Amino acid sequence: MKVMENDTVYYRRNMPHIQPNGAAFFVTFRLAGSLPKEVVLQLKEEQSKNERLLYKVKNETERKKKIDDQRKLYFGKFDEILDKATSGPCWLKDERIVKVVADAIRLHDKKEFDLLAYCIMPNHVHLVFTVRHDYIPSVRAEARATSTTSHYIMTDILRLIKGATAREANKILNRTGAFWQHESYDRVVRDEKELNRIIWYTINNPVKAGLVKNADDWKWSYYANVE
């Protein structure tokens, strides 16, 4: 994994997303309606309040570390709520649909990214990968004039995966409308230690959620043996 020194930051929905080419990413995306809006709003407000307080820390190094730790804590709470959700769709329990998602992830391996790990849960997906250095995000010609985010790496990759799987899943379910929640969680992986921790977290999510006793028992997860 290459640790990037020069990060490019852009803003989507008032949330900062770091987009360094060639870096490793940890991405989580979920089904539309998988969590009540009020629960998500409350969690975001809590996170925003805590982060504003941390910006008052004068030492820059300490401030960045505390903010990063706070964001990890936010994600942990968010993911735990997803694991314990008792309402909302769980379409990824359907083996026809979960196979569509797994196949789509594999389809883009060694093309747009190098796949390191994934785990498909009943209502969300964790994905870990490094962006390939020769990958150039595609932008449809008709969208160039109006799009402000489609040429960014993460947006493009998620569009490829989520767009195709949403169409196929809706066909299987004989439904229309949003399949995936539009907004996703993503963070750049800073070093090898964090990468190992994130991969461990990803493949052990079914164990943490109480779905299986051993990570190897979960059919819809994968991790690469990387030298």
Is residue 135 pLDDT above 50, yes or no?
A: yes
Global pTM value: 0.81
pLDDT at 144: 38
Do 94 and 195 belong together in one domain?
A: yes
Task: Please indicate, yes or no, whether residues 80 and 166 belong to a single structural domain of this protein.
Answer: no
pLDDT band at residue 152 using 50, 70 and 90 as cut-offs: low
Confidence of residue 22 (pLDDT cuts 50, 70, 90): low
Is residue 95 one of the residues assigned to a domain? yes
Q: Which residue range is the domain that position 196 belongs to?
A: 9-32+90-218
Tell me, yes or no, whether 55 and 109 share the same domain.
no
Same domain, 13 and 62: no
pLDDT of 1 higher than 60: no
Q: Does any domain span residue 128?
A: yes
Cα atoms in the Cβ-side hemisphere of radius 13 Å centred on 208: 16
Give kind and range of the element (H or E) at residue 190: none
Helical residues (DSSP H) of the chain, grouped into ranges: 37-54, 60-84, 95-107, 153-173, 192-203, 205-208
